[in-house]
Structure 1
Amino acid sequence: MNGPFDIWSDCTPGCAAHALPQMPAAGIARRSAVFAHRVRRALTDGERMADPARLRAHAGALLDALDIRREGPEPGTGALTAPGDGPGTLVVVNHVSWLDIPALLAVEPVTLLAKREVGGWPVVGGLARRAGTHFIDRTNPRQLTNSVRELAELLGSGRSVAVFPQATTWCTPDQGTFRRATFQAALDAGAPIRPVTVEYAQQGRPSTVAAFCGEDTFLASLRRVLAARALTVRLTAHPLLTAAERDPRLGRRELAALAARAVLGGRPSAGAAVPAPEGRHAPVPAVDARDAPVHV
């Protein structure tokens, strides 16, 4: 736990399991060598890695090195963001694994919002810093207002930002609730919201092998992924919630509930409110733990 706004998931490293027999040792060794080579190439790219085309290529190369098949929107088509010259898109995604990040960036190199501790993580931290990730401090509740303002400014400048509003990871794509703070930033910036579901399978069978939960370590998770046979990551981009089309009565609480229903497979998030009666504005709740900043 890093601060008063952290969320504790019921998932543990024990949730992560192979749905198929593991790869033989020779296959694991080959993957390890290719993955290490691709990581070195990405890190040596330095600040150039923030270039959208290069970032997308590096992210895809990391997944390819792990023999992870990708399903969903075609890379480079702008399928995750809204067209036009207005505010950027707030891309809200459920959180299962560290693999969620390259899976997103391989489709569209949006800016990531992450807790500052991620910058110090092995492998992932270096890649995140070079990719232009925007880091926030989750240890101090007084920083919440500043984090919302900074995110609204990023969106208002035209930059699309991907966030994980569950505030922690879960082993399956239908658990957890969405924290509200990032949705306030979208309201302030007049930004469209793109709900996205990420899920993992092995030969069509739902799989938790990619889950990175609880007291898990990056090395332990990487070892499982290296040994995973026929792993697929699928991204599903749901319809946009645009400022022009959504009900003006909806506040951050209602927007979080709508996005959660789309991303988590139709299951409403706990405590979600319904829109206010006709002619009345939904009350804006005070900042509390449910407004917790996001987690990567």
Structure 2
Amino acid sequence: MSVWLPSAPCTPRACVDATASLTAVPRAVLRLTAVVALVLAGVLLLPLAGLIPARAVRRWSRAVVRAAGVRVRVTGVPVPTATGLLLVANHISWLDIPLLAGVRPARMLAKAEIRGWPVAGALAARGGVLFIDRDRLRALPGTIARITDVLRAGRAVAVFPEGSSWCGRAQGHFRRAVFQAALDARVPVQPVRIRYLDHAGAASTAAAFVGDDPLLASLWRVVSARGLVAEVEVLPALAPGAHPDRKSLATAAGARVLGGRHEPYERQAFTPAGRSAGVPGPPGHRLDPRAQRPPRRRLAVRRTAHQGAELPSGVTNSR
């Protein structure tokens, strides 16, 4: 794996809550059938995507999430619809994509490998997904230029600047490269915070799609869950010109989305028992010991990596 690629230490075995039970199977099968039916309907209507009102797209996106048995709770400020907009959110699950589309339909940024996937790659390209080749740093300016063109045309682009999906109890930080597109296009940046809660209102990792977790296994875990809630908080937008450079803009957006909820992984240094020296870890959270890295060594690697180049930003690493 390239040293430039962002990655999360979260793994399905260490971080993800189990939800399966024999009593949940009939309900899970019904939910799975409903999700597949809605997705197929969306695929059939894909050639007419340009003619479908944004309101209908939002309703369909939320319907997919609800069909999986997940209740959607949207709070916060209204989202601008008459201008180009860079939507930025933390990344936990494949459910994040329809959740963001439920806030405002947008073109997604995804890794170039997805374009080569059977069926899904062609559908993603036809649906307007923007692709980034994370193994070629020289291609990054061209990707930023394409995103800028979309934003200048009055469209929205959705990005996960952490660069990888996290379990929801640990998190990364916002990488800055993609924020250059918002600066160049002079459009607002719309921060969105996503959380998944269980039936008791506590943070849940059941929806997390991390590490080498197969999509089917993640989907089954979601449809088997009881009382799962997706909480989408639309935070105040960052106005064009409010921040002079992409570093300060990324920092401001990251502070709104990630601040006050969790501690970044670099500051936690979890042990297998879920604790670090002097820093309490999230309740019940365990990271794979093989993924542990001493904080000082991790920071030293980052300083070396940033000499002369910038990490690719805003594209999911795990999926």
Deviation at 1:56, TM superposition (A): 2.2
SS at match of 1:181: coil
List per-residue Cα deviations over 1:1-60 (Å, max 9, x = no partner).
4x5532121101121104797862111121122222222212122322453344323312
| Alignment match, 1:55 | 57
Equivalent-residue separation in structure 2 for 1:121 and 1:170 (angstroms): 23
| Alignment match, 1:262 | 256
Change (3 A) 1:268 1:259: farther
SS at match of 2:233: strand
> Which of 99, 102, 114 lines up with 1:103 in the alignment?
99
Equivalent-residue separation in structure 2 for 1:189 and 1:240 (angstroms): 15
**Matching of residues 119-268 of structure 1 within 5 Å:** 119-120=115-116, 125=121, 128-172=124-168, 175-203=171-199, 204-244=201-241, 246-247=242-243, 250-266=244-260
Deviation at 1:287, TM superposition (A): 6.2
Equivalent-residue separation in structure 2 for 1:124 and 1:57 (angstroms): 22
List per-residue Cα deviations over 1:154-207 (Å, max 9, x = no partner).
111111111000000000165101111111111111111111111101121210
How many residue pairs get aligned? The number is 273
What fraction of aligned residue pairs are identical, expressed as a percent?
Answer: 36
Change (3 A) 1:138 1:11: same
2:36 aligned with 1:36: yes
| Alignment match, 1:5 | 4
Change (3 A) 1:126 1:62: farther
Letter in 2 for 1:98: W
Change (3 A) 1:122 1:36: farther
Letter in 2 for 1:36: V
| Alignment match, 1:275 | none
Change (3 A) 1:238 1:173: farther
| Normalised TM-score (structure 1) | 0.82
Q: 1:19–1:202: 8 Å Cα contact kept in structure 2?
A: no
SS at match of 2:72: strand
SS at match of 1:135: strand
Equivalent-residue separation in structure 2 for 1:116 and 1:105 (angstroms): 21
Letter in 2 for 1:257: T
Q: 2:170–2:265: 8 Å Cα contact kept in structure 1?
A: no
> Which of 109, 112, 115 lines up with 2:111 in the alignment?
115
Q: 1:153–1:189: 8 Å Cα contact kept in structure 2?
A: yes
Dislocated runs of 4+, deviation >3 Å: 18-23, 119-131, 266-271, 289-293
| Alignment match, 1:280 | none
List per-residue Cα deviations over 1:58-98 (Å, max 9, x = no partner).
31221121121101149xxx933x3545xx11111100011
Equivalent-residue separation in structure 1 for 2:60 and 2:234 (angstroms): 22
Change (3 A) 1:93 1:192: same
Q: 2:19–2:221: 8 Å Cα contact kept in structure 1?
A: no
Q: Which moved more, 1:19-28 or 1:155-164?
A: 19-28
Q: 1:257–1:268: 8 Å Cα contact kept in structure 2?
A: no
> Which of 68, 71, 74 lines up with 2:70 in the alignment?
68
| Alignment match, 1:282 | none
Deviation at 1:213, TM superposition (A): 0.6
2:18 aligned with 1:24: no
Which ranges of structure 2 fall in alignment gaps of 5 or more residues?
267-305
| Normalised TM-score (structure 2) | 0.76
Letter in 2 for 1:60: R
SS at match of 1:72: strand
Equivalent-residue separation in structure 1 for 2:213 and 2:8 (angstroms): 12
SS at match of 2:10: coil
Change (3 A) 1:293 1:142: farther
Q: 1:173–1:199: 8 Å Cα contact kept in structure 2?
A: no
Which ranges of structure 1 fall in alignment gaps of 5 or more residues?
272-284
SS at match of 2:175: coil
| Alignment match, 2:284 | none
Q: 1:179–1:294: 8 Å Cα contact kept in structure 2?
A: no
